[in-house]
Every structure is written in C-alpha cells, then in structure tokens.
Amino acid sequence: MRIGIDFDNTLVCYDQLFWTLAHERGLIDDSIPHRKDAIRDDLRRRGLEPTWTAMQGEAYGPRIVDAKPFPGAIQALQEFRQRGWAVEVISHKTHVPYAGPEYDLHAAAQNWLKHQGLVNDDANTSLVDAVHLELTKQEKLNRIAHAECDWFIDDLPELLTDSAFPINVSRALFDPHRQYSCRPEFHVLHEWSQAAMLFESKERS
C-alpha cells in the first residue's frame, strides 16, 4: 500500500507555534485559544491581515523547528513502516513567503522532517520514502496521481473534493478539531491513531 500525506496542518501542528509568535508580539492575550485558526480569525477581525501573512512566513520558515508533529503522527508512520506500507509526503508549498523576508520554505520543511527523524540517508530506517513540495495545487494533484497513492490524507476538504483529484485514490480528511463529518467523497480521521485501522479495513475489503 502507498500512502500520501499532506505536510502543513496534517503532519505538522502549528497551533502552539502561532500562539507563541502572536503572544511574543503582544498581539493576543491568554483568552485566545491555542489554535492557529483562532489566532488567524482574531487578527483578521482586527484588520491585521498583513501581520498574519508575515507571521506565516516566519512560522513556515525559520521558526518551523519549534512546531511539533500532531500527537500520534510519528507513531502512525512507524506502524505504516512495520506493515510494509510506503509513505510519500506531497504538499503544495511556495518556495518563499507571499510577503516579508524571502525564507526558503522548501528547505525549512525538509529540515523539519530531518529534525523529527522522519527522513534520513538510510532508506531502511526512514519513515518517509519521498518528499514532494509542489508549487501549485494542480501540481500537487498531479503528483498524487503520479505517485499512484492508494490513500491520501489532507486537512482541506476542498483539496479532497477537487474535480481534478484522482478518482482511484481513497481520501482521508485529517480533522483534529472535529469540524467535519464524513461525506461520500472522504473518510474522516480525528486522530492519527485511527489511520492504520482505517487503511487496513479497506485493504481487506
């Protein structure tokens, strides 16, 4: 089995990092939940969209080393490896931020994966077999098809329901904040610990 996984907000959890960045700048107080979407919505409500955009560049660039994997993600990848399943990270990511300093976001993502021990020079111990950082959404969709994934996990329903999404790939929506329910187009994973069981059940059927 071959499993494709999105990177930002699926493998990497930015909730605490964005809260820390906003708090360091004096933009929020302790009443704001430690969630990326809550911080984004609060800043936008106050007309601070440029500030939010600049913070994204920093979070996805030099400060990404402070972001953690979602709980259970590494353990899930270890289980995938034990079952002999291949894993590819496939993400839509620009080379540099939309605004602010021109951090190399691709290098930052690769460094994060190495720092977490998910990729290394030994193919036998690396938990991720390949990493593809595509510049556009369409290139990401093309890569999912080219990789011949059996499953793809993403946090965006609009990606999984896109008309260009390859029809032969099963879809799993990663929804850690329980905002969505199952739809005909995809299954919902609220926790990484649910992934192997879902994939195995479909492999048997």
Model confidence over 64-117: pLDDT tens digits?
Answer: 999 999 999 999 999 999 999 999 999 999 999 988 899 999 999 999 999 999
Q: For 2-12+68-204, CATH number?
A: 3.40.50.1000
pLDDT digits (tens, 9 = 90+) for 131-181: 999 999 999 999 999 999 999 999 999 999 999 999 999 999 999 999 988
Domain with CATH 3.40.50.1000 in the chain: 2-12+68-204
| Residue 26 region by backbone torsions, left for phi larger than 0, else alpha for psi between -120 and 50, else beta | left
Residue 54, SS3 per DSSP: helix
Between 197 and 205, whose confidence is greater? 197
| Residue reference for tokens 């969505």 | 180
Between 121 and 108, whose confidence is greater? 108
Residue 180's alpha-carbon distances to 13, 188, 190, 201, in angstroms, are 18, 8, 9, 21
pLDDT of residue 72: 97
pLDDT of residue 43: 96
Tokens at 44, concatenated:
């936008």
Q: How far apart are CA 64 and CA 16, in angstroms?
A: 11
pLDDT of residue 139: 98
Between 202 and 177, whose confidence is greater? 177
Global pTM value:
0.94
